[in-house]
Amino acid sequence: MRAGPLMAGTAKINIIPPKPKYPVHDSLYARALILEADGSRIAFVSLNLGGYTNIPLVEKLKSRFNLKEAYFCLQHTHSSETVPREWLERQILSVMETASKNMFEAHVSGGHRYFPQRRI
């Protein structure tokens, strides 16, 4: 049995608030990856924030983008300011919208290599 093509959409958006309180050394981003195969879609949203929970937003993403599941991945930072929740939600919806409009046929491959000098 052969499955249909794997489709993927990606996007990223800066999530530094419009008027930061402190000078910005490195930008923080929200990134989205949408994967679709045989009519089933899942999404991963990555945030450069230490903590974020929003079940209603997950349900909104699932409904708006026809997702079976939506996963959030957070990278911890000790030096970012608090990002306004409503503004962040708009940024997340925006990055998902961009990813869903930029779908392309993706290919997955794998491999391995043995390095005898790097034995662990």
pLDDT at residue 119, rounded to an integer:
66
- In percent, the amount of the chain with pLDDT more than 70 equals 95
pLDDT at 112 over 80: yes
Structural domains in the chain (count): 1
What confidence tens digit (pLDDT) does each residue in 33-54 have? 999 999 999 999 999 887 777 8
Helices 55-64 and 85-101, packing angle to 10 deg = 20
Kindly state whether residue 50 falls inside one of the protein's structural domains. Answer: yes
β-partners of residue 69 are: 42
Give pTM, 2 decimals: 0.84
* Residue-averaged pLDDT of the chain: 88
Token pair, residue 65, equals 């983008």
CB-CB contact of 27 with 17 (8 Å): no
Kindly state whether residue 116 falls inside one of the protein's structural domains. Answer: no
Kindly state whether residue 111 falls inside one of the protein's structural domains. Answer: no
> Which amino acid is located at 108 in the chain?
V
pLDDT at 61 over 90: yes
CB-CB contact of 41 with 35 (8 Å): yes
Q: Are strands 104-106 and 6-14 parallel, antiparallel or unpaired?
A: antiparallel
pLDDT at 60 over 90: yes
Domain residues for the domain of 23 are 6-106
What confidence tens digit (pLDDT) does each residue in 3-25 have? 789 999 999 999 988 877 788 88
Kindly state whether residue 114 falls inside one of the protein's structural domains. Answer: no
Kindly state whether residue 117 falls inside one of the protein's structural domains. Answer: no
**Tokens 């929970």 identify what position?**
53
